[in-house]
Amino acid sequence: MSDTSSKKMRSFTILSLAISVALILCGAGCGKKAKADASVQLQQSFHTAEPEVQKTMETVTTSLQAGNYAEATRALAPVVTEHALTDEQRQAVGVALQQINQSIAVNPSLDTKEMYEMRAKMFKAVHNPNKRF
């Protein structure tokens, strides 16, 4: 091997090793994500909504805190799909969806067809607020 080829090979090996170490460290850090808690954000973002919607948010937050994700999703879906949401409300709903998805990842039996469909509708409503169902 020529001297130039040897240097290129050494550089490639060092670069590969550095990338591998970075990926391992990132993987270790990424596994320690805090579980999302949407309760406070939902309450705060909907505090000026109509009384009926505020009552629904109480049901949603109570259900989320109790781990009853099906009930929380059933209560939240109509609000998200039938009302115009502010940016703050959309962000809070996004955190709620994240919390529900994290729980489903831990317990896949929670992912029923109904849950999937409601989450999909909410996701579309939150990410494309101009199109309603």
Number of domains in the chain: 2
Quick check: is 133 in a domain? no
DSSP states of the chain? --HHHHHHHHHHHHHHHHHHHHHHHHHHHHTTPPPP--HHHHHHHTTTS-HHHHHHHHHHHHHHHHT-HHHHHHHHHHHHHHS---HHHHHHHHHHHHHHHHHHHH-GGG--HHHHHHHHHHHHHHH-TT---
Q: Are 85 and 105 part of one and the same domain?
A: yes
Task: Supply the pLDDT for residue 3.
Answer: 65
Helix (H), strand (E), coil (C) string for 66-80: HCCHHHHHHHHHHHH
Q: Are 44 and 27 part of one and the same domain?
A: no
Task: Supply the pLDDT for residue 57.
Answer: 96
Cα angle: 110, vertex 112, 118; to 5 degrees? 105
Summarize pLDDT for 58-84 with one digit per residue, the tens. Answer: 999 999 999 999 999 999 999 999 988
Q: Are 46 and 92 part of one and the same domain?
A: yes
Task: Please say if the pLDDT value at position 6 is more than 90.
Answer: no
Domain interval for residue 63: 39-127
Quick check: is 88 in a domain? yes
Task: Please say if the pLDDT value at position 132 is more than 70.
Answer: no
Between 35 and 31, residue with greater pLDDT = 35
Q: Are 53 and 87 part of one and the same domain?
A: yes
Q: Are 6 and 46 part of one and the same domain?
A: no
Between 50 and 16, residue with greater pLDDT = 50
Q: To the nearest whole percent, how much of the chain has pLDDT over 90? A: 59
Q: Are 45 and 110 part of one and the same domain?
A: yes
CA distance 29 to 27: 5
